Amino acid sequence: MSATKNSIHPKRHQLLSEELRKHNLDALVLNPGPSLPYLTGLHFHMSERPVVVFFSQNHQPVVVLPELETLKLEGLDYEVQAFPYGENPIQWVESFKSAILAAGLENARIGIEPRALRVLELNFLQKAAPQAKFVPGESCVSALRMKKDAAEVNAMRKAAEIAQNALLATLPSVKPGITERQIATELTLQLLRHGSDSQMPFSPIVSGGPNSANPHASPSDRPLQAGDLLVIDWGANVDGYFSDITRTFGIGPVEPEFAHIADIVLQANTAGREIARAGLTASEIDQATRAVIEEAGYGQYFTHRTGHGLGLEGHEEPYIRGDNTQILEIGMSFTIEPGIYLPGRGGVRIEDDVVVTTGGIESLSSLPRQLKILES
């Protein structure tokens, strides 16, 4: 099918070709993962049957896929060249060889995504093109994915709204005696009921009391107790785009130091959101939040970066850390999530999803950020 004037994927192919030239790559090869639907609109499950798509500078996309998946190629808004294979694995390498030859990549320098490409696909690629060189090329597609268009931002805005409504529907059940796992289960149900796609960005993190001092704790069967801090980190999925929000609660009144660190983390989160804008580096956002916590004497208890990019993955570029000189541009989306974690006692994190705009940033998440005391 010929591409239409307003087709998004051919435009992305053209932008990718420009990135390939910048990075001295002849092609990029992708297997199922977030970058593949971004560039193709195609969705494949990772399975024992390999699927790869080659994107080269001067050639239409070339697809190697199982015969049973070929119907997915109908109705695309761009031309592809397909090399399907049957059920006999011994014959699969021939489809890879044919694809390599068709794209003229026998001796090419081909980029891959190291975090996505499996040994399974790499073995077939290397057998099909033993003279080709396979090198990390994830920066080519991340350069495109970092800058969201209006439709992508709208999906993320909806994902944040769904997540927030789901939490509000869950909170009435949160009281002493309920376990972290029970809260996480109820929150997951509410996310689905409020419209999240079934593939969540991650399983909700629900951690109370001493467990809240672990930034990535898994929900346990520990019952909440009066005086606990409760950290809830959760997100929703709309059309493949994620939200990722964290709020901290008190199970009844909490001890003075807990209230104090909650106020410090709020100030740090505010500092990051107020300074963030196009033209700054990711490191400057990290420094702004970290300075607040360090000046308050809790620097050693802020044990992670300030944030991470967000979109088709829960963690993607740009990473908001102290050594990242990436310059922020309009359309980039990321989290701002400072925290203080007192080992063995409790922790606080406040996380918002933001997107860089012409006027600074838009916060896609809007739930109150202050420590909310739930009735015990």
| 211-220 per-position pLDDT tens digit | 999 999 999 9
- d(CA 171, CA 206) in angstroms, rounded, equals 12
In this structure, is residue 115 part of a structural domain? Answer: yes
* Structure confidence at residue 4 (pLDDT): 43
Is there a single domain that holds both residue 132 and residue 159? no
Q: Pull the structure tokens for residue 57.
A: 């500078």
The residues, ordered by sequence, that sit 6+ positions from 236 with a Cβ below 8 Å of its Cβ are: 159, 160, 162, 163, 166, 191, 194, 195, 196, 197, 200, 201, 242, 243
pTM of the model: 0.94
Digit-coded pLDDT (tens) for 66-119: 999 999 999 998 999 999 999 999 999 999 999 999 999 999 999 999 999 999
Is there a single domain that holds both residue 83 and residue 188? no
Q: Which of 76, 111, 145 is the last residue of a domain?
A: 145
Q: In the chain, how many domains are there? A: 2
| Confidence tier at 6 by pLDDT (50, 70, 90) | low
| Predicted confidence (pLDDT) at residue 1 exceeds the cutoff of 60 | no
What share of the chain has pLDDT > 70, as a percent? 98
| Predicted confidence (pLDDT) at residue 239 exceeds the cutoff of 50 | yes
- Containing structural domain, residue 101: 8-145
| Predicted confidence (pLDDT) at residue 5 exceeds the cutoff of 70 | no
| Confidence tier at 3 by pLDDT (50, 70, 90) | very low
Q: What is the CATH number of the domain that holds 83?
A: 3.40.350.10
In this structure, is residue 355 part of a structural domain? Answer: yes
| Predicted confidence (pLDDT) at residue 2 exceeds the cutoff of 70 | no
Mean per-residue pLDDT, 335-354 = 98
In this structure, is residue 3 part of a structural domain? Answer: no
User: Among the listed ranges 166-170, 300-304, 372-376, which one has the minimum average pLDDT value?
Assistant: 372-376
Digit-coded pLDDT (tens) for 242-288: 999 999 999 999 999 999 999 999 999 999 999 999 999 999 999 99
Mean per-residue pLDDT, 185-212 = 97
* Structure confidence at residue 333 (pLDDT): 98
Q: What is the CATH number of the domain that holds 313?
A: 3.90.230.10
Digit-coded pLDDT (tens) for 35-65: 999 999 999 999 999 999 999 987 899 999 9
Dihedral-angle region of residue 260 (phi above 0 means left; psi in -120 to 50 means alpha; beta otherwise): alpha
* Structure confidence at residue 376 (pLDDT): 64
Is there a single domain that holds both residue 158 and residue 28? no
Digit-coded pLDDT (tens) for 104-162: 999 999 999 999 999 999 999 999 999 999 999 999 999 999 999 999 999 999 999 99
* Structure confidence at residue 111 (pLDDT): 98
What share of the chain has pLDDT > 90, as a percent? 97
Contact status, residue 135 vs residue 111, Cβ threshold 8 Å:
yes
- d(CA 365, CA 298) in angstroms, rounded, equals 26
Is there a single domain that holds both residue 173 and residue 230? yes
Is there a single domain that holds both residue 162 and residue 288? yes
